[in-house]
Amino acid sequence: MAKRERLLAVLRGEKVDRVPVSPFMMGPNFFKEHILAMEIEHCRIIRDMGAAYLYHNCGDAAALLPLYSDIKMNVYESMTPPPYGDTDFDTALSTIDKSITLCGNIDQVSFLKEATPEENIRAFAEAGLKYGKY
């Protein structure tokens, strides 16, 4: 049994409620030709199990955003802004299907670690006021 099928068998047996996944860093042509169909199928299987599908891509995902709606994930994260990523939240909002929850848009590399609790709360409140649904 292939590694992917073994993983899915274990997940089915455990009755998980969410499954995080992540694409490799690649361009949109390679992703569309070699990965997208598998990701769509993988998401369908996980969602058919009744689990939410959280899709993770570390940082540089702007070129793939137009393809992500086809996967039909429940949540896409991490919306990583410059300088650590290239994912602009406004672009993602206008590109990704509105049924997909977007997660992130706060600098996790420096800000969350170095900011005071008050600064963190302020950043989350400002993001919530701007984008809503936080």
The residues spanned by each domain of the chain are 17-131
Give the residue from 122, 123, 79 showing the smallest Cα distance to 101: 79
- Decide which of 17 and 43 is more confident: 43
The structure's pTM equals 0.74
Q: How far apart are CA 81 and CA 87, in angstroms?
A: 5
- Decide which of 85 and 17 is more confident: 85
User: For 56-71, what is each residue's pLDDT tens digit?
Assistant: 887 778 889 999 999 9
